[in-house]
Every structure is written in C-alpha cells, then in structure tokens.
C-alpha cells in the first residue's frame, strides 16, 4: 500500500480565519514551527511507512522559520511540485541555516546550489542580497558560487562592506575576515586597473616620422589620457563600482588590430610586415594575443581577485598558498 500524498497548509498568524496548510497531518511526529503554531510539519517516512497514532508527538520549534522548514520538508519527502523554482536571497539563506542546524547540508546542497546559480540575476542585486548569497554559499561550502559571488561583490558595489554586517543574521554567520579580504581585493583591483591605464599611455607607440606621430599609438594614448582625466588621475576611482571602470576601460581600449596603421619600427611597438613607402622601410602593427589586449587583461584580473575557500584557509594559516592563485600565476 503506497503512502498518502502529503497535503500542505499555512495557518494565518494574525488570528483571522485560518488558511491552513498541513503536511501529512496524520504523521507520527508533528513539528510546530515558529513563535506561534503557524505550520505543522511531521517527519514522515522516518521508518519507511506512515502510521496513524491516536495522538502524534508534537515538537515545538519556536525559533525556526516556518517557510524554510516547509520547503525543507517538501524537498526531503520528494514533494518537488510544491517547491519554488527560484528563491529570494534571504529565503535561501534561511534554508541553508536550517539545513546546517539539522545536519541536512548533504541532502540539500545540490538544490541550494541550483537556487544560488539561477535565482535573482547577480548584476541587478544590491550588496545585502549578494551578502545573503555569499553567506549561503559559505554555509553549504559551495566553492564555485562562493568565488562567483565574491567577484560580483568586488566589482559591482562601491559602498563599504560594513553594510552587510548591519544585518544581524549575516553578522552571526559570515566571518569578518571575509569582508576584510573583499575590501583588500577591491582596493588592489582598482589600483591595477589604474596601472593598466598608465601602461596604455606609457607603453604605446610614440614613434614619429616626418613630424607625424604613429596614428595607432596616438589614438591609443589619447583614449587612456581622457580616461585618467575623467577619473581625476585615478583619485576618485574608489567612488565608483569597478564594473564602471571596466566598462569605461573597454570603451577606451577599442584597439582595432585588423586596421593596420603603419609606423617606423620600434621595440615598444608591435610591428611587422615590412613594406616600402617613399623610399623608406615602413611596417604595419601586428595583431596581439587576446590575453594581451586590455579586455583580456581585465578578464585575468577578475579571475585572479575572486575569493575562494583556499583563500580563507590561507588567511587562517591552514595553507601557504591558494591553489586557484597558483593556476592563475
């Protein structure tokens, strides 16, 4: 004989006409979750079959979240049709907290990881939302999402990370050293972007012939000069998100290497394909590898500054060097 399909209800907390949702109300054990008996969640299936005791045991869990426990119960008892496909960052955080409390991380990690990956597009979220997601990934030890969300926190937000700690739940769960590390990496990444601007000015082609400056080098240099001027020589880049600096940098570095501009050969200039013009030996600028372009260097920066669990182990002295950083080096 097959087990009865659980039926779910939520009891209204305001004392009005109750809109009840019970999960297997005739189960062996009923969990009374929340400060008031808002939801009753029996642990069905613990012995393989559901019995029908005359007076089931009630266990009060006043500190737990009814919504989180409801979701966990549905997942554990394969009621996937009653589980939302996407989850808000705070709701997902609560599920992770409860899964950790009841030693259910292993059972729920795959689904929580899926929710982290698909719920709420990162680039439209606020810092606190990303803080919830980062803490959720930290609780369940989801290294991939932890690194991805940390990069988002570094590049998409300019405000202090102390905003995350204004939320009591996050302050209790997210180690302070993670916020320190995020701030350190954000500062270093801003500095290195500014260094790339300076490099774009300094290492471009400055060769001249008949008082005419290399067209390619001049255009490239002027773009970076304007970029530095816009951000006051780099002094105000701390006031804007790194994503803005990256976007503006890409605009400034539109190096169309397929349009060859000639210049006199110089070791500082990527030239090849010698040809003759007016009796003088001239050359074209040659193409460069994608990782050598400004956009390629920015991509490498983002990979290098992501925070991973190896990084945390290094901060705690458990490891000497992050394996991820070794690959990047």
Domain spans of the chain? 1-77, 184-301
**Which one is predicted more confidently, 257 or 189?**
189
Q: What is the pLDDT of residues 220-231, one digit of tens each?
A: 778 788 888 887
pTM of the full structure? 0.73
User: Is the model's pLDDT at 21 over the cut of 50?
Assistant: no
* Other residues' Cβ atoms within 10 Å of the Cβ of residue 267: 6
Q: What is the pLDDT of residues 302-318, one digit of tens each?
A: 778 888 887 887 777 66
Mean pLDDT of 273-297: 60
pLDDT, position 17: 38
CA–centroid distance for 253 within its chain: 26
**Which one is predicted more confidently, 12 or 238?**
238
pLDDT, position 157: 92
Q: How far apart are CA 81 and CA 42, in angstroms?
A: 18
Q: How much is the CA Rg of the chain, to the nearest whole Å?
A: 29
User: Is the model's pLDDT at 251 over the cut of 80?
Assistant: no
Q: Where are the alpha helices (DSSP H) in the chain?
A: 66-76, 89-101, 105-118, 127-140, 143-156, 168-173, 176-202, 215-230, 242-252, 294-305, 309-315, 323-328
Q: What is the pLDDT of residues 123-161, one digit of tens each?
A: 557 899 999 999 999 999 999 999 999 999 999 999 999
User: Is the model's pLDDT at 300 over the cut of 60?
Assistant: yes
Reference 29, options 92, 68, 98, 77; nearest CA is 77
pLDDT, position 105: 95
Buried b (16+ CB within 10 A) or exposed e, 166-194: ebeebeebbeeebbebbeebbeebbebbb
Q: How far apart are CA 146 and CA 265, in angstroms?
A: 47
**Which one is predicted more confidently, 152 or 56?**
152
pLDDT, position 129: 93
Nearest 5°: CA angle at 260, between 273 and 293?
A: 100
**Which one is predicted more confidently, 288 or 157?**
157
User: Is the model's pLDDT at 170 over the cut of 90?
Assistant: yes
Reference 24, options 49, 51, 5, 2; nearest CA is 5
Query: Average pLDDT over the chain, rounded to whole?
Result: 74
Buried b (16+ CB within 10 A) or exposed e, 132-161: bbbbbbbbbebeebbbbbbbbbbbbbbeeb
Q: Where residue 100 falls among pLDDT bands split at 50, 70, 90?
A: very high
Work out whether the CA dihedral 315, 187, 146, 83 comes out positive or negative: positive
């Amino acid at each position: 004989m097959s087990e009865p399909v659980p039926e779910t209800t939520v009891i209204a907390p305001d004392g009005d006409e109750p809109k009840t949702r019970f999960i297997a109300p005739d189960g062996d054990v009923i969990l009374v979750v929340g400060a008031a008996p808002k939801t009753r969640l029996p642990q069905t299936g613990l012995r393989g079959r559901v019995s029908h005791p005359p007076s089931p045991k009630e266990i009060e869990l006043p500190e737990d979240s009814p919504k989180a426990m409801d979701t966990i119960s549905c997942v554990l008892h394969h009621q996937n049709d009653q589980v939302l496909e996407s989850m808000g960052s705070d709701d997902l955080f609560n599920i992770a907290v409860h899964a950790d409390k009841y030693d259910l991380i292993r059972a729920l990690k795959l689904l929580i990881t899926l929710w982290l990956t698909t719920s709420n597009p990162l680039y439209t979220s606020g810092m606190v939302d990303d803080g919830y997601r980062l803490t959720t990934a930290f609780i369940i030890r989801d290294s991939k999402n932890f690194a991805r969300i940390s990069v988002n926190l570094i590049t998409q937000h300019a405000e202090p990370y102390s905003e995350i700690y204004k939320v009591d739940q996050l302050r209790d769960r997210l180690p302070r050293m993670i916020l320190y590390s995020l701030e350190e990496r954000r500062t270093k990444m801003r500095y290195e972007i500014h260094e790339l601007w300076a490099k774009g000015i300094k290492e471009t082609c400055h060769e001249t012939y008949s008082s005419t400056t290399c067209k390619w080098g001049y255009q490239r240099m002027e773009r970076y000069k304007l970029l530095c001027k816009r951000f006051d020589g780099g002094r105000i880049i701390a006031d804007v998100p790194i994503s803005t600096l990256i976007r503006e940098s890409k605009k400034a570095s539109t190096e169309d290497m397929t349009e060859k501009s000639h210049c006199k050969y110089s070791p500082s200039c990527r030239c090849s394909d010698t040809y003759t013009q007016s009796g003088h030996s001239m050359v074209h600028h040659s193409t460069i590898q994608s990782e050598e372009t400004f956009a390629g260097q920015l991509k490498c920066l983002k990979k290098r500054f992501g925070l991973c669990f190896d990084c945390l182990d290094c901060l705690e002295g458990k490891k000497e060097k992050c394996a991820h950083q070794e690959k990047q080096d």
